[in-house]
Amino acid sequence: MSESMQGKVALVTGGASGMGQIYARRLAAQGATVAIFDLNEEGMAETAATDNITAFRCDISSQSDIQARIAEVEAALGPVDLLVHAAALMPAHALADHSVEKVEFLFQVNFFGTIYMIKTLLPKMMERDSGTMVLFGSIAGYAFVPKMGAYCATKAAVNTYVECLQNEIRATSAVKIHLVCPPAVNTALIEQTISTDTPGSILQAQSSGRLADPEKMIDAIEKGLAKGKDVIYPGEARLLQIWKILFPKLWWKTVLQFEK
């Protein structure tokens, strides 16, 4: 972060594992008082073993649960100065096999969960005219792959919503909103993909060691925040986006080759 976190209150969702866990620990080390949200109680206990981190069990798919847990955070720790929203699900299914119910639930967690977090905290930040949100979209919302259609759609929705929000409030509020679009990262979330109907490109990236290192992803995000970037593309994310935009037929030919 470009500004000191000393004495600030940070809320990190998905704090039980992966980039959420790494980010929560870094913020605590930087002097922040950190709250983490997740459903994985064992992972949250591991994260909260670090000083200055408090765990709250929260279902990101439920607006009422989010509102109740944020009220608890504010009562225990104070107003939230920084939100890092990293929680998400990433199953892989060919769309012909992916049930409507499962697609709806994926949107409930990935897209509406993001909206619930924003709509609960943004009015409070705007009233104070201060605060920062770091919201995880994904490069998958721009550069699509087979068997990840529903996930890509949820992240395309997040990317769109956050970019519009950034530009709507820019002229009238000091609240800072940043969109993070990482590539495939070597965390527990990728294991969720691999345990379902994994895209060949993900398997190849895993076997060749090309999955992004989560610590390096957080390094890149912190650098992007220090520079005040609206949208942060860590690692190879920007390259993937440009490839898909400029050469869509070549993109699909390449990613589909991994399915043979």
Residues annotated as catalytic (active site), given as ranges:
151
Query: Integer distance in angstroms from the first to the last C-alpha of the chain?
Result: 43
Please state, in angstroms and rounded to a whole number, the distance separating the CA atoms of residues 16 and 213.
17
Which tokens in the block code for residue 38? 């997740």
User: Minimal CA–CA distance to 222: which of 10, 79, 7?
Assistant: 10
d(CA 254, CA 252): 5
What letter represents residue 84's amino acid? V
Closest CA to 86 of 40, 51, 37, 44: 37
The C-alpha torsion from 136 through 139 and 141 to 145, rounded to 10°, is -140
The C-alpha atoms of residue 185 and residue 246 are separated, in whole angstroms, by 24
Dihedrals φ, ψ of 57, to 5°?
Answer: -70, 120
